[in-house]
Chains A and B, each alone.
Chain A
Amino acid sequence: MTKQVRQLDRVVIRFAGDSGDGMQLTGDRFTSETAQLGNDISTLPNFPAEIRAPAGTLPGVSSFQVHFADFDILTPGDAPHVLVAMNPAALKANLGDLPRGATIILNTDEFTNRNLAKVGYAANPLDDGSLDGYAVHPVALTSMTVKALDGQAISKKDAERAKNMFALGLLSWLYSRPHESTLAFLERKFAARPELVTANVTAFKAGWAFGETTEGFAVRYEVKPARQQPGNYRNITGNTALALGLVAAGVRSGLPVFLGAYPITPASDILHELSKHKKFGVTTMQAEDEIAAVGATLGASYGGALGVTSTSGPGVALKGETISLAVALELPLIVVDVQRAGPSTGMPTKTEQADLQMALFGRHGEAPVAVVAPRSPADCFDAAIEAARIALTYRTPVLLLSDGYLANGSEPWLLPDVTGLPDLRVEFASEPNSPDGFMPYLRDPATLARPWAIPGTPGLEHRIGGLEKADITGDISYDPTNHDFMVRTRAARIEAIQVPDLEVEDPDQTARVLVLGWGSTYGPIGAACRALRQRGLPIAQAHLRHLAPMPRNVDDVLRRYDRVVIPEMNLGQLAQVIRARYLVDAIAYNQVRGLPFTASELEFMLEELVKNA
């Protein structure tokens, strides 16, 4: 039976089910198939807060959203066009995000009285008319999977578990995805248990065949490849990209990389990833606590390694004293903060940008550091290399501010040419730098960096520490004038860091409103600006990668526009800094829901501003 094929320019699908239903894997595989096809993609997983919430309950719902299109997209999509709900809890937890008219594919086998009662459905939403506004496809996913696997030498439980592959097969057929990579993946994943390879492949093919033959789906869809820059691509999450950026920084600097870390959501994957890359000379240490993690890292930096510690906000708070020590010692140190919703434990699996002012100011004494923030999952790779460049060149701690949205979200990544990556080689001090011997605080006049004289270098034996040091000699000093000078010098050191100018996207040069952002809001802000421009409303967008020091042209850029608006997932932390520093009446637009902005809400807010500007 040949079915009608309809062309779409973009689709947002959300796979939702119980934690045990394998929704992350299903979403991942769909994403991979979609990437192979050449669509542009952006994904966002949503994990339950509990590790093993009771099956079938609302807290146990896990979902994965994928947005794919025949054009360049910037976000995982605001509202899903399609919801795959593996049980009543998944339907209930996600229905609110669905616009009327959206497609819902339901696993009817799970819509039992008991499961409905568990999530507080008094009546079955399949029968009570509450889903009338949607295109509902009831599919008996579990029982059809079990039937398809009839006669195979596997347990009933394993057969039922293959239902996610049945669903994936169905969706792959529906959106005309290539399936070779999924079949190859299943071979790899279950290599040790061939019976599960057969079962999952059978389930996938059964789902595909079901789509082809059932009356229920009359139309099949296609999304043409996006026009993308030629090259090799892979799909990548922010945490993986960041870890690979650190490996690359090690290779390009010729230094061993040392990562000290304590497990913390959502940063642990950086530790996991780096621990796989020992052959690049990467040492990872799971320390006894956050303080030890940064301490060991600083010790490694002192010894000449590229020292990195990765954590989330609560960990940065604990590391504060050691970061201040690194400021005083003037040694390279990268502190990765994968921000999550706070205060305190807050919502560990949810995203936020509320650590900006802690990164900038959150230490005792005047303790300035450099602050860098990536804007998208793939950009975490470049941002990590940039953090390493600053740390190594200027011998300073660098705070690298990622967040939960970037960490777990993914997008296609145009693989870089390794030899084109920045050259990060450093020169250790090797001989006395003055006629009076070695002066540990005699600075390079261009970078204001002091020599990096690592233990083991003959003739440069010296002592450093947290006590205030005399300029040049580094001896302990309580002299008032010296302290004033050293405090100002440490501030000047950060301001002396060379960073690229802030770029402004203002295609027609007619905009009067500028949207300024930083970090992971780049996607939704960019998508909102594009939508406005398509509707003939001019708007300018600029995005800060360097929060400290700020690019030299920021003042200029801000003054070119009548209004400056700063959307942030906090209560206005960048806005406050911009207002204080540049005396610009910037408007703060804020949201702290643990979720990224949607492009449409920003579009709505910006439209008002543009019209009234």
Chain B
Amino acid sequence: MPDAKNVERAVTTAPIALKLTAKDFKSDQEVRWCPGCGDYAILAAVQAFMPELGIPRERIVFVSGIGCSSRFPYYMDTYGMHSIHGRAPAIATGLSTTRPDLSVWVVTGDGDALSIGGNHLIHALRRNVNLKILLFNNRIYGLTKGQYSPTSELGKVTKSTPAGSADSPFNPISLALGAEATFVARTIDSDRKHLQSVLRAAAGHRGSAFVEIYQNCNIFNDGAFDALKEPATRDDFTIRLEHGNPITFGRNAEWCVIHPPGGFGLEVRRTAEVEPHEIVTHDRTVAEPAYAFALSRLPGEDLRHSPIGVFRAVDRPSYDDLVRGQVAAARARLTGSPEEELTKLLNSGDTWTIM
């Protein structure tokens, strides 16, 4: 074995000609989600997208918590860690901070990220750690067999809430924006093209990229997002955000989003009833999170007017870049060998000599 004295030496950093395909990202493990689960579609979309990254497999790491979605790393032939409930963002933060050469992805669910791990999620986002966080939101607890989750609608009847749940749900996009996440997006398991376009944007972002993926749990919460998928409703219910374009939707763009004068937020109107200049042009680079937040508040309880796409993508220094910068600056001041410097350090302060 070569002498792998330290991290830098163990890890090959020479560029490698990559000819990877989706197949290269499939591990030898049998996929164990329920037949028909939305997770399959997401896995296939991610595996097919990975070669686009142009990053060798050994430099990609998937870290997950606990829940159905958190099985994800087992199925990716990259490095991976299936950790404990809610803690993936924390674990990934330590990894990302010490290993800038890696592309670190967090896979989590609504219970994992927003309930038990809520604290780690918001702090990872505020720090803007270089992480791609994929939150599979199925609005239910699947692995523990059907309790309501922090994104379940108020009044949800489940095994643990036979009389209906009494707590209001989180809106994950609003929450991420409240934490001033620099990249916030939403997509849907069944729309592979859209999902991959969001992954592409997330992968290109420096800092934390938060992606909510609406995912169907066909066993415990089937059809939760049908309104956004069924031909009869999807066009009127889904707002596809496109940077630089006026926000219109509906089969014939008959709906649009405006900022009513004097109001705080955004509202949906009939396109025919407003002046074209009144229609909001989507700009994901708006520094103030209030704009993206207003977008996140458009949907009603029935998911009508759900924006999908990239809500916000702004530049802010990432935690790990700053921390490594401090360490690198200090290291640059090192004059002797580490052993010599250590000797100096131990001998600093008030010392005395006994002959």
Contacts and interface: CB of A to CB of B under 8 A. Distances in A.
B120 interface: yes
B348 to A, nearest CB: 8
B317 interface: no
Interface string B83-124: 110010011111111110110000000000000000110010
B232 interface: no
Nearest to A279: B330
Interface string A158-175: 000000000000000000
A435 interface: no
B74 A303 contact: no
A209 interface: no
A427 B98 contact: no
B77 A295 contact: no
Contacts, number: 238
Nearest to B75: A463
A507 interface: no
Interface in B234-292: none
Interface stretch (B4-12, B133-141, B152-160): B4-12
A456 B99 contact: yes
A455 B94 contact: no
Interface in A20-69: 32, 35-36, 38
Contact of A228 (B58, B79, B341, B354): B354
A475 interface: yes
Contacts of B101: 456
A303 B350 CA distance: 38
B58 A456 contact: yes
Contacts of A101: none
A461 B56 CA distance: 11
B95 A455 contact: yes
Given A456-B102, A460-B58, A299 B84 contact: no
A467 B342 CA distance: 41
A446 interface: no
Contacts of B93: 285, 292, 295-296, 299
A233 to B, nearest CB: 5
Given A415-B346, A427-B4, A466-B84, A302 B338 contact: no
B1 interface: yes
B95 A302 contact: yes
B144 interface: no
Contacts of A458: 12, 16, 56, 58
Residue of A225, A255, A299, A428 with highest tally of chain B CB at under 10 A: A299
Nearest to A454: B10
A230 B1 contact: no
A34 to B, nearest CB: 10
Given A295-B120, A299-B93, A465-B83, A282 B58 contact: no
B134 to A, nearest CB: 17
A329 B63 CA distance: 13
Given A278-B330, A462-B79, A467-B82, A288 B119 contact: yes
Contacts of A587: none
Contacts of B12: 456-458
A430 interface: yes
A283 B98 contact: yes
Interface string A425-448: 111111100000000000000000
B327 interface: yes
Contact of B84 (A297, A322, A428): A322
A463 B27 contact: yes
Contact of B81 (A305, A418, A464): A464
B19 interface: no
A282 B98 contact: no
Contacts of B346: 234, 244, 248, 415-416, 418
A231 B91 contact: no
A464 B62 CA distance: 11
Given A36-B352, A427-B4, A461-B78, A285 B58 contact: no
B84 A279 contact: no
Chain A interface size band reads: 35 or more
Nearest to A184: B350
B29 A475 contact: yes
A607 interface: no
A232 interface: yes
A321 interface: yes
Contacts of A305: 7, 94, 98
A18 B1 CA distance: 62
B98 A425 contact: no
A455 B99 contact: yes
Contact of A254 (B6, B58, B98): B6
A251 B84 contact: no
Contact of B354 (A229, A329, A430, A459): A229
Contacts of A459: 58
Contacts of B76: 463
A38 B58 contact: no
A460 B94 CA distance: 21
A444 to B, nearest CB: 12
Given A305-B7, A325-B83, A461 B350 contact: no
A499 B350 CA distance: 34
A234 to B, nearest CB: 4
B4 A418 contact: no
Interface string B62-80: 0100100000011011111
A271 B354 CA distance: 31
A345 to B, nearest CB: 20
A496 interface: no
Residue of B66, B333, B342 with highest tally of chain A CB at under 10 A: B342
B352 A457 contact: no
B17 interface: no
A299 B95 CA distance: 5
8 contacts: A277-B345, A285-B323, A299-B90, A299-B98, A300-B94, A416-B346, A418-B342, A428-B4
List 7 A-B pairs, minimum CB-CB distance, nearest first. A465-B82, A299-B94, A295-B90, A296-B94, A278-B330, A456-B11, A299-B95
Given A466-B82, A466-B84, 9 more contacts: A278-B329, A279-B333, A288-B119, A292-B93, A303-B95, A329-B81, A418-B342, A465-B81, A476-B74
Interface of B: 1-7, 10-12, 16, 27, 29, 56-59, 61, 63, 66, 73-74, 76-84, 87, 90-99, 101-102, 119-120, 123, 323-324, 326-327, 329-331, 333-334, 338-339, 341-343, 345-347, 349-355
